Chains A and B, each alone.
Chain A
Amino acid sequence: MAAALFAGVVVYSVFGGADFGSGFFDATAGGARRGAQVRTLIDHSIGPVWEANHVWLIYVLVTWWTAFPGTFAAAMSTLWLPLMLALLGIVLRGASFAFRKYSATIGQARLFGIVFAGSSLITPFFLGCVAGAIASGRVPADGGGDLVSSWVNPTSLFGGLIAGGSCAYLAGSFLVADAARSGHPGLAEMLRVRTLGVGAVTGACVFAALVPIRQDAATLFDGLTGRALPLMVLSAFAGAGALVLIWTRRYAVARFAAAAAVGTVTLGWGVGQYPWLLVDQVTIEQAAGADATLQALLVAVGLAVVIVVPALSYLLYLTQSERWLRH
């Protein structure tokens, strides 16, 4: 069950990350005239999928409280503030994205666009902080941890930055590919440079984070440099590989490499903190809810695999293929 839960986290970080990250490019696209092309591209590329991507988060929450109810309550009460802020971002972003699409005037579109881009940036940051807080053992088993210092600390803040950066990097690699495929070479060139920049900074961030993590979150550090080391190395290769591929304009493959880099780094975090659910506090086994529920939940997960995966693959196939590029 923990694996199913964590699979949700990984998928959300890849798919959800890709569309959250588009907020970075939306924000840096420039004024209304200059940025129009990028914004249209973003709308076109995440429009059909963002709601479906968003459901992964709901899946994670539901699975968490159903399978590991005690730790869910503990994390929610301790990390109340960053979760509230992430939630604020999710609400504003979803609403303003939909509103912008049907705005009647440029003024309205600009307002909703700013809200969309801004909230797309804060949400991954705060979710990253939450991950950092859990990984550094700052959520007590019975909840009631410090409302501020639990997430204002080196590991959490680096977690936030890495999450934000990964999202932007991932989004960039998808947008570059979309731009190139739909025949906008100039746009692709501009996005290519930005994506390379974001990718390099994020990569550096991941490795820089290891220094404070060593002090701040010893258990996680041991995990990352021990059991999770192969994954971290793989992630580094995939990330660097994606950068090279984008550099050499092989965008179609670069998308997969970038997704692999983000997926493996998230997976690395999970493997790094295994067997803890709340690091240094509660193991996965101790946290588990009733057996009957875990079995029932497996049925639900099985159904999800049978029903959702084909449907979602169809949707992704449609959006990532040539057929829907006709405007």
Chain B
Amino acid sequence: MTLEALQVLLSDTPSGLLPARNQMALSLGWHIILACFGVAFPSMTFIVHWRGVFRGDAVALELAKRWSKVSAVLFAIGAVSGTVLSFEMGLLWPGLMGRYGDVLGLPFAFEGLAFFVEAIFLGIYLYGWGRMPPRIHLLMLVPMACAGVIGTFCVIAVNAWMNNPTGFRLNAAGEVVDVDPWAAMFNDGVWLMFAHMWVGAFVVVGFTVAGVYAAGMLRGHRDPHHRLGFIVPFVFATVAALAQPLVGHVLGLRVAESQPAKLAAFELAETTEQPAPLRLGGIMIDGEVRYSIDIPKIGSLIARNSFDKPVPGLDEVPEDERPPVNITHWAFQSMVGIGTLLALSVLLFWFVRWRGRDLLESRWFLRYAVAAGPLAMIALEAGWIATEVGRQPWVVWQVLRTEDAVTDNPWIWWSLAGTAVVYLGMTLGAYVVLRSMARRWRAGELDLPSPYGPESAEGVKEASR
């Protein structure tokens, strides 16, 4: 059966579709994590830096300094992986960019603008340590944080447009006419999708950064530095993790109206049911759902906000317009499952703290806190897979099929392989460098001079002794 499926996959679609899709998935999936840091990290750094400047808290100031150096590394690789994406839009999807470039381009232009602002002020902020008056230096983070918000909105606007295409018309000859780029940018789907992604960025970065300090505490570093390093991002993560289920729920309600096929895949609904059950787990084999745990009526509640409204089934969608059901369903459920876990865990933490017990004393909680960062990343990736795979086979919902957008370039498998190697290398490089930064900080080196030659390398060793 697998072989048959593979044959169908390979024969029916243009040769470039599979590798192009994977390359885009790889580079976008990689970039999305770094983009989160670009969005959320400046705000967190602002809080600790503010505390350092206005309360004279040396520990907080040191945290801000270190976070800014970590931001520099993450921002650099985020910037290049973002550039990769803007190339790939054309290199992989000429059919999309050639036809709809002028419809979807405007938000990208504003995104570029936002990114510009962020890059400039990051440059000033990083090199401003010890060179600018402290209060002005602190202010340099504000445009960075604002640019992060605007940038997120703009990128999501393009994606929302692909899911809710407006702002143009196709004439009888199939040409794109009556282009209104503003209508395309501010399409119906953009606000909720933006909110979901923006809050998601704080979930990911909040838990990840807090997890780093939780790991430090597990190793016995129980100083004010680690406490503050944990609690600031954890507060951000708390607010975001509690807001996210609400945003997600309201966003989900829209899907029933705008993309019933996607909702059907989310809910693993083969036929339309009224009221629909909530299916936990399960897999669809040959059009039948197996191994799922069904909870009556809850499916309707979650998808439609009512106990008896119907959830559309895949039987209402023509066969060649159905998304890959199982991937979509599992990705969606992973996202919701992890999101729920994260929200419950922050509630538990603050409740217990309110009752006078500090969970930071519990090794089990610290272990969980270390895992929460990667879990949040998985939830982010899963959510993104759910919305993107659920949209297939369309690249622009019911207007342009993915197979019509893809390049016919014969070397695309090679470029996929190359991309995989380069991204693996970049991940390893970032890991090695960030880890060695942490080690040198622990060893008491504060300024981390770069060893450009043996003399300075010797100096580094002496300084760390």
Contact = CB atoms under 8 A, between A and B. Distances in A.
B292 to A, nearest CB: 42
B34 to A, nearest CB: 11
Contacts of A47: 123, 126-127
A296 B79 CA distance: 25
- Secondary structure dominating the interface of A: helix
Contacts of A301: 109
A40 B457 CA distance: 13
Interface stretch (A29-37, A154-162, A179-187, A248-256): A29-37
A65 to B, nearest CB: 4
Contacts of B121: 311
B101 A69 contact: yes
The residue in B76, B82, B454 that gathers the most chain A C-beta atoms within 10 A of its C-beta is: B76
B106 A300 contact: yes
The residue in B94, B124, B456 that gathers the most chain A C-beta atoms within 10 A of its C-beta is: B94
- Secondary structure dominating the interface of B: helix
Interface in A88-107: 88, 90-106
B131 A33 contact: no
Given A101-B72, A102-B69, A55 B98 contact: no
The residue in A34, A95, A144, A324 that gathers the most chain B C-beta atoms within 10 A of its C-beta is: A95
Interface string A40-80: 10010001110110110111011101111110111111001
A28 interface: no
Given A62-B108, A296-B182, A303-B113, A48 B102 contact: no
B464 to A, nearest CB: 9
B120 A315 contact: yes
B98 A73 contact: yes
A88 B418 CA distance: 9
B371 interface: no
Nearest to A326: B131
A290 B171 CA distance: 14
Contact of A143 (B86, B94, B110, B436): B94
Contact of B120 (A69, A94, A290, A312): A312
B119 A36 contact: no
A90 B76 contact: no
B232 interface: no
Interface residues of A, number: 86
Interface stretch (B6-14, B219-227, B282-290, B427-435): B427-435
A83 interface: yes
A51 B181 contact: no
B448 interface: yes
B94 A99 contact: no
Given A33-B455, A307-B117, A100 B450 contact: yes
Interface of A: 32-37, 39-40, 43, 47-49, 51-52, 54-55, 57-59, 61-63, 65-70, 72-77, 80-81, 83-84, 87-88, 90-106, 108-109, 112-113, 143-144, 147, 289-293, 296-297, 300-301, 303-304, 307-308, 311-312, 314-315, 318-319, 323-324, 326
17 contacts: A47-B123, A51-B79, A65-B90, A68-B101, A69-B105, A72-B101, A74-B98, A81-B411, A91-B81, A98-B77, A102-B437, A104-B433, A104-B451, A105-B451, A106-B451, A106-B454, A108-B433
Q: List the 3 closest pairs (A to B, CB-CB), nearest first.
A: A36-B453, A66-B105, A69-B101
Interface of B: 69, 72-73, 75-77, 79-84, 86-87, 89-91, 94-95, 97-103, 105-106, 108-113, 115-117, 119-124, 126-127, 131, 143, 176, 179-182, 407-409, 411, 415, 418, 422, 426, 429-430, 432-433, 436-437, 439-440, 448, 450-457, 460
